[in-house]
A and B are shown apart, each in its own frame.
Chain A
Amino acid sequence: MNRRELENAILLRESGELSPEEEAALENALEAEPALAAWAEEAHLLQEAGRYASRHTVPALAETERERILTASKGRSDALPRLLAIAAVLVLALGLWPHFAEPFHQEAPRLTAQVKPIREDLTGEDPLLSSLDRLETEIEQIEDLALDDDHFVEDPDYWASELLKMENTI
């Protein structure tokens, strides 16, 4: 171990972080190196000095601080169970509501409506359809024309020419 590592080992020994083997190695090094042993004493002394200074310069914590902490803690410990109890009651109430609410359940109000049919009877004759049927029959009677004739599909001007013919005839 070099000097820096030995100094680290001295610090780690003070903090109780050395293994027995490392501690034995350090003891050997301290015996062999008086300067290192002096450094170990110095390090210990300077740490003791810090503890000493704190004891003499840092006043004791006011008793009121302790009381404030306890009060804050008590307030917290009282409030938490209360809040949890309220939350539990709410959850329970929501869960049981449908069951307990059933006896008080009222039927939904009935709605009445008057529907006036466009046609009196679905089996009866639809005036619009019958008019169309009639028109179809009349058209077919004109020169024995059938509405499913291919001319209707293939020649868009067919109807125009037929009407012109009729007009000319008249």
Chain B
Amino acid sequence: MEDIDLETYLDQYRQGDVEALGRIVDLTRKPLYRFIRGMVRDPHEADDVFQDVWIRAVRGLHRYRSDRLVSWLFRIARNRVIDLSRKRRADVSLQQPVGRGEHGHTATLETFAADRAPGPERDAGNHELAERIRAAVDALPAEQREVYLLRTEADTPFKLIAEHQGVSINTSLARMQYALRKLRDDLAEDYETLNTLSRRS
């Protein structure tokens, strides 16, 4: 996300150019949507949350500077996810871990390294691997998953994550450490291959 572009588009939007809003959405939607999908498993609910975040954001878009905008969007998204969770106490995505994906645990992380090479087998293998990683992320406790997703999807600094969660920065860091340890355990079999390939590349 380019802050300069974001600032330019914000200025244009403030001057009444609605199309500039489209460009702001384009710049931010990938990380924001991935974060929401990471927290809300149901794709339709994720779409609703995403849309709701933007409708709420539009109301205050005139007030925000670009350097705070992304953080603010994630904060709105986080609040909406919490609202949704309260409304649906039984939502498995926030209340309890889910199992591994439906795919078998057969593909190796060689497919991860071969990500840039073309081919249908690569696509299938990549998808299986991605599903396993995804399942491991889904299995994290909600607070840890949130920290992990805010770091990986939005590159949010720990200071801001701590603000979002209303905890100290040390608590945010500890949650990230716990998340990484759990992912390391859950992805142990894949991890060794990944590590080897990562060193090679």
Contacts and interface: CB of A to CB of B under 8 A. Distances in A.
Interface of A: 4, 7-8, 11-12, 14-17, 41-43, 45-47, 49-62, 65-66, 68-70, 72-74, 76-77
A54 B180 CA distance: 16
A66 B58 CA distance: 13
Interface stretch (B2-10, B21-29, B74-82): B21-29
B18 A73 contact: yes
Contacts of B129: 53, 56
B119 interface: no
Contacts of B30: 60-61
Given A52-B115, A73-B18, A7 B134 contact: no
B38 A61 contact: no
Contacts of A65: 47, 50-51
A50 B131 CA distance: 10
Nearest to A56: B130
Interface residues of B, number: 53
Contact of B131 (A14, A57, A62): A57
Interface of B: 16, 18-19, 21-22, 25-26, 29-30, 33-34, 37-38, 43, 47, 50-51, 54-55, 58-59, 112, 115, 126-127, 129-131, 133-134, 137, 148-149, 151-153, 155-159, 170, 173, 176-177, 180, 183-184, 187, 191, 194-195, 198
A46 B184 contact: yes
What's the dominant secondary structure at chain A's contact region? Answer: helix
Contacts of A16: 157
A61 B47 contact: yes
Q: Give the one of A42, A43, A60, A69 with max B CB within 10 A.
A: A69
B13 to A, nearest CB: 9
A50 B18 contact: no
6 contacts: A4-B177, A12-B173, A52-B133, A53-B131, A61-B47, A69-B55
A15 B151 contact: yes
B44 to A, nearest CB: 11
B151 A42 contact: no
A17 B134 CA distance: 27
A53 B133 contact: yes
B126 A56 contact: yes
Contacts of A43: 180
Contact of A42 (B155, B157, B180): B180
Given A7-B177, A61-B29, A77-B16, A50 B22 contact: no
Nearest to A39: B180
Nearest to B148: A50
A104 to B, nearest CB: 41
A8 B173 contact: yes
Contact of A69 (B51, B127, B152): B51
B177 A11 contact: yes
B127 A56 contact: yes
Contacts of B148: 47, 50
Contacts of B157: 15-17
A170 B23 CA distance: 123
Contacts of A8: 170, 173, 177
B187 A66 contact: no
A56 B125 CA distance: 11
Contacts of B50: 61, 65
A62 B47 contact: yes
A47 B115 CA distance: 16
